Amino acid sequence: MGTTVVGLFLAGVVNLIIRNMIRDKKQGKSLQCGCNCKHCSGHCGK
């Protein structure tokens, strides 16, 4: 029973992280360079 509860908890946390990453990507926020140099403030080095 404990394994199931921990597994469901971890699945929920992973789901929230993925949803947050997708939401950030749609808003143009990302940890990686999106190669959109028009809006780049010089962080990507291009």
- Close Cβ partners of 40 (under 8 Å, ≥ 6 residues apart): 33, 46
Quick check: pTM over 0.75?
no
- Given CA atoms 15, 21, 24, 25 in this order, what sign does their dihedral have? negative
- Residues 15/7, Cβ–Cβ less than 8 Å: no
3-state secondary structure of 10: helix
Domain edges within the chain: 1-46
- Residues 33/41, Cβ–Cβ less than 8 Å: no
**pLDDT digits 0-9 by tens, 11-43:** 999 999 999 988 887 877 766 665 666 666 655
